[in-house]
Amino acid sequence: MMRKINYPLLTGMYTCLLAFLLLSSSCRQATNHKQHHSAKTGSAEIKYAKGFAIDYYDGYKLVSVYSGFGPTADTAQYVLLAKGAKAPEGFPKSQLISIPVKRLVAMSSTHVAQADFAGVSDDIIGLGSFKYISSAVVRKNIAAGKVRDVGVDGTMNDEMLISMKPGLVIVMGNPDAKYSKYETLTRAGVPVMLNSEWLETSPLGRAEWVKVMAALTNTEDVVDQKFDAIEKEYHRLAEIGRHAKDKPTLISGMPFKGVWNVPDGDSYMAEFYKDAGTNYKWRNVKGKGSLALNFETVAPEALKADYWLNVGYVDSKKDIRATDVRYADFKPFKTGKIFNYNKRVNDLGSNDYWESGSVSPHLILADLIRILHPELLPQHQLFYYKQLN
Amino acid sequence: MNKVKITVLLSLLVIAFLLDVALGSVHIPVKEVISVLFTADSVNESWIYIIEKIRLPKAITAIVVGCGLSVSGLQMQTLFRNPLAGPSVLGITAGASLGVALVMFSVGSLTSLYTIRELGLSGSWLVIIASSLGAAIIMLLVVSISSSLKDNVIVLIVGVMIGNITLSLISIWQYFSAPELIKDYLMWTFGSLGGVTGNQLLILTIVISVGLVISFLSSKMLDALLLGDNYARSMGLTVKRARLIIVISTSILAGGITAFCGPIGFIGIAVPHLSRALFNTSSHRILIPACCLLGTVLMLSCDIIAQLPGSQTVLPINVITALVGSPVVIWIIAGPRKLRGF
Amino acid sequence: MEQAILNTHAVHIGYHAGKHVAGPLNLALFPGELICVLGPNGCGKSTLLRTVAGLQHPLSGEVILAGQDMVQLKPRDLAKQISLVLTDDIRSGNLDVYTVIALGRYPWSGWLGILSEADKAAIDHAVQVTGTAGFLHRKIDSLSDGECQKVMLARAMAQDTPLIILDEPTAHLDLPSRIQLMRLLHKLAKETRKAILISTHELDLALQVAGQIWLMDSAGQLAAGLPEELVLNGAFEQAFGKDGISFDIVTETTRNIRISYNIK
């Protein structure tokens, strides 16, 4: 006969196991520090981005990619070696990248935009997907058969990539994550660099990653100049925005199935909203970039908000109503103040906001100020945003 | 004795309903909750909105879903004489998922844009219709296969296998899709009682009511099937026709719910066992209403927990039903003899 | 002469896939009779029972029941004429004894299965004659094999049909239970005027209680008659005698025949 089951004990164990699993999923991993040493000749001036550093040495450059929270032991380091120079000692774990990089494979639209910014998008020979591309140069090259589709991240065609002999494959990543899925490529001599510009919490910080592209392609002069201009323009606009007399309220994003993801205080979107002169409810909430809130928490704000921005894949008020009939009760719906960043969506369905927008924070800020304070920028034509009717 | 149980259950139902409407991320005083429910007025306008447009439809959805899933699970357990059978065992929910995957993974593609513009469908209705079509196609497939099979066990295995094939197809699709689309589909698979409003709630209620009526009218057939096909036949039941009716009503119930709320599991397996144990009968004309009562109470309770009252976030309903439902099933099946359902 | 409950006219039984098992058969079942179908394994007892029960069609010929060809009867009407006791395992579903017996009223009860007074009376009668009153509220899976058989018999009785067919009812039972069941069947047939048809391997018990024997052999021949007739005319020897078993009759009284057999 079976022994009687001890229910209290089982229930206790079950609850403890559940609690443990739920708690551990929100814990961050511990980090430790490592130092490196050599004779530097200079460093790139990085004012806003927290996720990388570029150091200049005799004959090579060192790009360190952090997780966005500052240097940790998991910093990925890349040695950018000039042609003909000898590989430096002391970097056993780092990849060597020959510069200037020709034959670039880009896995994300932001990388294409950075290449465009640096004027080197003609060197792109491979993309993760042909569906998400706005750059005119790259599209022309695709049509001419000069660019290959290498498969989205996770299902990359390693064999094709190796045979293409690219100078560098740039992937979206988090330096904390494991490198192992790219081992096949790196062991075959294909350098793979992780970019984590998407972790930046400020618009200028995100755009500043063009300097990594500059270091890779020896276009620092051009890029620094352009970036300085954008930086100046951004600050000029932010002054206007922040000194606006009345600050409208707004809600951001589109809920899905009872959950409304809104940008929190640590996201670049919240910084945009601050610089554009708004009263954004969650601007002071610290977090990982977005808050997953219950629909009913955000709904009271939505009922009173002045503007509704960034509504996702919809293109008209009819679409919004079709998604959920309750959205028609929101004040921005009733007053028609709904704006979406889908003005520059091309015939492939890809949205340039995610491409050139990532390196043009000044244009996005101008759009936002034009929307939120039309009287402050009357001459500006909306570039990425449009009003939904 | 049954009258006492029913009264207690009805009281629990009312309490659970009120709690579900009263609790949530936004704190609303009980006085105001009652004020909104009975006079449609309150000191704070957004509270009226929250209760009338968010919580009340969600609670009603929970009631409808609790009934529909429990009764369809009961039918499957009886038809296949299997204590682990549930509404998804015939692959109906897998078919619904396939329809939804089709829509979600082709967002932005030419086909879906065409559908949206020309047919005037968009947003949530597109997902609902795709899901219903997927469920209906699988139902037809299972029905046509089962009509030429005498043995119920074979029908069960066929249904499970069809479900697996469908889910594999969806996996292939996911493998080649962009992360945002996968995230949307993943969110759908978590299930959600919110978001069924207005006309959608009306249609869902009608569909589930039709399914429940068919099930209740099949009570006698289901009772006979408890002794197995051969005895049922010898008592005058046309087993093939009975099976057809049961499969259709289960498909209407499970398919309808999945179309509007996504796949919600475990309620359909756990509640029939609870009903059988609580009312100590195998007669379906008692069990079907009992399943409705217990299913509703359980579903409302899971929704209350999912709300994480007081906190800003909400957990997916599927997570809660699984965490609550699995121990219940284990307790019923492995527990003290007298509570055994099967 | 009483009207036969069931007749077969030149019936050939077998499987439509091509296997002819036996025939032509001209058989009759009369009220108050207990008929035992005997024969070695594989001779077609099950096929015969299934054909007579309406579970499969004869290859040719007709089975006449209640004055009609059986194939033309609707399932519900057939259920009012014939009830079955099978070897199927029904011990699942949280069923209690009363519910199982009450299911016998399926062809008669209302559209939701609600029992009328007449239904309840029929159930009580079935319970009484089968002696199952003692465990009415127990669950089916808590019964012994013998008790379970009695319950299934009570269910068939509750179905209130002129003909009850039992497939190997004494399989899995111990000797006292087997004797008890066969005696019960014999008594029921006489008292309720039903015809009861069983297939069984219980040679000696069958010979003592059966009113008629249908003896099948492996060659597809069927001999029907009184038990002593079939013994005396050598039918038994022919059907079973291949393995060195010889049959003797010991007649104690005119109504009591015993068979003894020697294993050489």
For residue B35, give the CATH number of its domain: 1.10.3470.10
For the beta carbon of residue A228, count every other beta carbon within 10 angstroms.
11
CATH number at residue A98: 3.40.50.1980
Bridge partners, A53 (sequence order) = A64
Do A241 and A213 have their domain in common? no
**Residue A158 and residue A260 share a domain:** no
What is the percent of chain C with per-residue pLDDT over 90, rounded to a whole number?
A: 34
Write out chain B residues lying below 8 Å of A324, CB-based.
Answer: 123-124, 195, 197
Judge if A173 and A260 occupy the same domain: no
Chain B residues touching residue C84 (CB < 8 angstroms): 230-231, 234
Residue C15, chain B, CB below 8 Å: the answer is no
| Per-chain mean pLDDT for chain B | 86
SS3 A236: helix
Q: Residue B73 above 60 pLDDT?
A: yes
Residue A314: its chain B contacts at CB < 8 A? 123
Span(s) in chain C for CATH 3.40.50.300:
1-76+162-173+195-264
Complex confidence, ipTM: 0.89
Domain count of chain A?
A: 2
**Where on the phi/psi map is residue C113: left (φ > 0), alpha (ψ -120 to 50), or beta?**
left
Neighboring chain B residues of C94 at a CB cutoff of 8 Å = 276, 280-282, 340-342
B178 touching chain C per CB within 8 A: no
Using the beta-carbon criterion (under 8 Å), do B190 and A295 form an inter-chain contact? no
pLDDT per position as a tens digit, C1-53 = 578 888 888 888 888 777 888 878 888 898 999 999 998 888 888 889 989 99
Domain covering C1-76+162-173+195-264: architecture = 3-Layer(aba) Sandwich (3.40)
pLDDT digits (tens, 9 = 90+) for A149-187: 988 776 778 888 899 999 999 988 765 555 667 888 888
Q: Does A207 share its domain with A288?
A: no
Tell whether the model's pLDDT for residue A191 goes beyond 70.
yes
**Cβ separation B26–A256 shorter than 8 A:** no
Whether residue B149 is contained in a domain is answered as yes
Q: Are A190 and A244 contained in the same domain?
A: no
Alpha carbons B324 and B267: distance in angstroms, whole number: 9
Instruction: Give the minimum alpha-carbon distance from C153 to chain B in angstroms, rounded to a whole number.
Output: 12
How near does any CA of chain C get to the CA of B51, in Å?
40
Residues of chain A neighbouring B100 (CB-CB closer than 8 A):
none
Count chain A–chain B contacts defined by CB atoms under 8 A: 98
Whether C90 shows a pLDDT value over 80: the answer reads: yes
Pair B191, B263: CB distance under 8 Å: yes
**B50 — phi, psi (to 5°)?**
-60, -45
- pLDDT > 90: what percent of chain B? 43
pLDDT tens readout for residues C185-243 = 999 999 999 999 999 888 888 888 888 999 888 777 888 888 888 877 877 777 766 66
Instruction: Report CB contact under 8 Å: C90, B227.
Output: yes
Indicate whether A281 and A380 sit together in one domain: yes
End-to-end CA distance of chain B: 22
Indicate the residue of A318, A319, A326 with minimum beta-carbon distance to B197. A326
Most confident of A62-66, A211-215, B49-53, B117-121: A211-215
- Closest by CA position to A387, among listed A323, A307, A328: A307
Categorize the per-residue pLDDT at C262 as very low, low, confident or very high, splitting at 50, 70 and 90. Answer: low
Smallest Cα–Cα separation from B87: which of B339, B340, B270, B214? Answer: B270
Give every CB contact of residue B129 below 8 A, 6+ residues apart in sequence: B121, B259
Interface of C with B in 73-102 (CB under 8 A): 75-80, 82-84, 86, 88, 90, 92-96, 99-100
Spell out which residues of chain A touch residue B317, defining contact as CB-CB under 8 Å.
none
Closest listed residue to residue A171, CA positions, set A230, A247, A81, A106: A106
Residues A300-337 as b or e (16 or more Cβ within 10 Å = b):
bbbbebbbbbbbbbbbebebbbbbbbbbeebbbbeeeb
* pLDDT at residue C254, as a whole number: 44
Predicted local confidence at residue B64, as pLDDT: 97
- Yes or no: say if B65 and B264 are a contact pair by the CB < 8 Å rule: yes
Neighbours of A259 (CB within 10 A): 20
Interior CA angle at A241 toward A388 and A278, to 5°? 60
As beta bridge partners, residue C247 has C261
Tokens encoding B85: 């059978």
Q: And the tokens for B52?
A: 């009338």
Total residues belonging to chain A: 389
Nearest-by-Cβ selection for A294 from B107, B313, B331: B313
Q: Which chain A positions have a beta carbon within 8 Å of B262's beta carbon? A: 257
Residue of C46, C90, C106, C151 to mutate, testing the B interface (most B Cβ within 10 Å of its Cβ):
C106
**Phi and psi angles of residue A350, each rounded to the nearest 5 degrees, phi first:** -95, 145
- The per-residue pLDDT for A37 is 47
For residue A37, being part of any structural domain is answered with no
Residues in A touching B45 (Cβ below 8 Å): 303
Residues of A in contact with B175 (CB under 8 A): 155
% of chain C exceeding 70 in pLDDT: 89
Chain C residues with CB-CB distance to B281 below 8 A: 94, 99
Give the distance from residue C247's alpha carbon to the nearest chain B alpha carbon, in angstroms: 37
> CB neighbours (10 Å) of residue B222?
26
- Percent of chain B residues topping a pLDDT of 70: 92
C-alpha distance from residue A375 to each of A240, A241, A372, A378, B231 (Å) = 11, 11, 9, 6, 83
Determine the residue type at B198. Answer: G
Give the phi and the psi of residue A33 in degrees, each rounded to 5: -105, 150
**Strand C163-167 relative to strand C195-199: parallel, antiparallel, unpaired?**
parallel
pLDDT tens-digit profile of B296-331? 999 999 999 998 877 778 888 999 999 988 888 787
3-class state of residue B235 by DSSP: coil
**Strand-strand pairing, A124-127 and A104-106:** parallel
Residue with tokens 């910014």: A117
Do C94 and B234 lie within an 8 Å CB cutoff?
Answer: no
Q: Do residues A134 and A345 touch, judged by C-beta distance below 8 A?
A: no
**Minimal CA separation from B221 to chain C, in Å:** 9
Largest CA distance in chain C: 60
Q: Which pLDDT value is given to residue C259? A: 62
Tell me how far apart the alpha carbons of residues C251 and C262 are, in angstroms, rounded to a whole number. Answer: 17
d(CA A370, CA A384): 12
pLDDT of residue C126: 94
Which residues of A are less than 8 Å from B107 in CB distance?
313
Q: Is the minimum CB–CB distance between A8 and chain B shorter than 8 Å? A: no
C171 CB near a chain B CB, below 8 Å? no
Domain boundary among A168, A187, A218: A218
Q: A190 and A245 in one domain?
A: no
Confidence of residue B107 (pLDDT cuts 50, 70, 90): low
Provide the mean pLDDT of chain C.
Answer: 85
Nearest 10 degrees: Cα torsion B210, B213, B215, B217: -140
Considering only CB atoms, C113 lies closest to which of B219, B228, B238, namely B219
The pair of three-digit structure tokens given for residue A236, joined into one six-digit string: 């000029």
- pLDDT surpasses 70 at C94: yes
Taking each helix axis from N to C end, the angle separating B123-146 and B239-261, rounded to the nearest 10 degrees, works out to: 160
Mean per-residue pLDDT for B218-245? 92
Q: Could you give phi then psi for residue C50, rounded to 5 degrees?
A: -65, -35
Tally the domains of chain B: 1
Calpha distance A263→A145 (Å, rounded):
40
Residue B112 scores a pLDDT above 60: no
Is C107–B226 a contact, with Cβ atoms under 8 angstroms apart?
no
Do the domain assignments include residue A54?
yes
The residue among B28, B33, B50, B174 with the most chain A CBs within 10 A of its CB, best to mutate, is: B50
Closest CB from A258, A292, A300 relative to B195: A258
Asked if the Cβ–Cβ distance from C113 to B282 is below 8 Å, we say no
Q: Does residue B313 sit at the A interface (CB-CB below 8 Å)? A: yes
Range with lowest mean pLDDT among A60-64, A66-70, B264-268, C86-90: A66-70
Question: What is the SS3 assignment for A55?
Answer: strand
Asked if A199 and A243 sit in the same domain, the reply is: no
Is the domain of A313 the same as that of A361? yes
Average pLDDT over residues A247-264: 90
B5 touches chain C (CB under 8 A): no
CB atoms under 10 Å from CB of A216, counted, come to 27
Q: Per mean pLDDT, which range of A304-313, A344-353, B69-78 is the poorest?
A: A344-353
For residue B47, tell me if it sits in a domain: no
- pLDDT tens, position by position, A16-62: 777 777 665 444 443 333 444 457 788 888 999 988 899 998 888 99
B107 to chain A, any CB pair closer than 8 A? The answer is yes
CB contact under 8 A, B342 and C76: no
CA distance B9 to B4: 9
The two beta strands, C60-65 and C68-69, are antiparallel
Instruction: Look at residue A32 in the predicted model and tell me its pLDDT.
Output: 36
Q: Closest chain A residue to B309 measured between Cα atoms?
A: A294
Domain that holds residue B10: 2-40+55-339
Q: Show which of residues 266-325 on chain B sit within 8 Å of chain C, judged by CB atoms.
A: 276, 280-285
- Is the pTM here over 0.90, yes or no? no
Q: Does C11 touch chain B (CB under 8 A)?
A: no
- Please report whether residue B45 resides in a domain: no
Task: Select, from the ranges A270-284, B128-142, B182-196, the one with the highest average predicted confidence (pLDDT).
Answer: A270-284
Contacts of residue B263, defined as CB under 8 A and 6 or more positions apart, other chains included, come to: B88, B93, B96, B97, B189, B191, B318
Note whether C86 contacts B231, CB cutoff 8 Å.
yes
* Residue A279: closest CA among A308, A252, A247, A310: A247
Distance in Å from the first CA to the final CA of chain C: 44
Do C113 and B231 make contact, defined as CB atoms within 8 angstroms? no
> How far is it, in rounded angstroms, from Cα B106 to Cα B96?
16
B97 lies in some domain: yes
Each residue's pLDDT tens digit, A314-338? 889 988 988 888 999 999 999 999 9
Residues A247 and A373 in one domain: yes
Contact criterion met (CB below 8 Å) for C123 and C155? no
Residue A177 shares a structural domain with residue A297: no
Whether A225 is covered by a domain: the verdict is no
Going A337 to A340 to A343 to A349, the CA torsion angle's sign is negative
> B332 in contact with C at a CB cutoff of 8 Å?
no
pLDDT given for residue A36 in this prediction: 44
Supply B109's token pair.
Answer: 């593609």
Q: Does B180 touch chain A (CB under 8 A)?
A: no
> What is the rounded CA–CA span in Å between residue A68 and residue A175?
9
The pLDDT-based confidence of A1 (bands split at 50, 70, 90) is very low
* Domain region containing A196: 42-218
Residue C65 has pLDDT above 50, yes or no: yes
Task: Search chain B and give the residue with CA nearest C103.
Answer: B224
Tokens encoding A371:
């929307």
Q: Check CB contact under 8 Å for B176 and A155.
A: yes
Checking if the pLDDT of B26 tops 90, the result is no
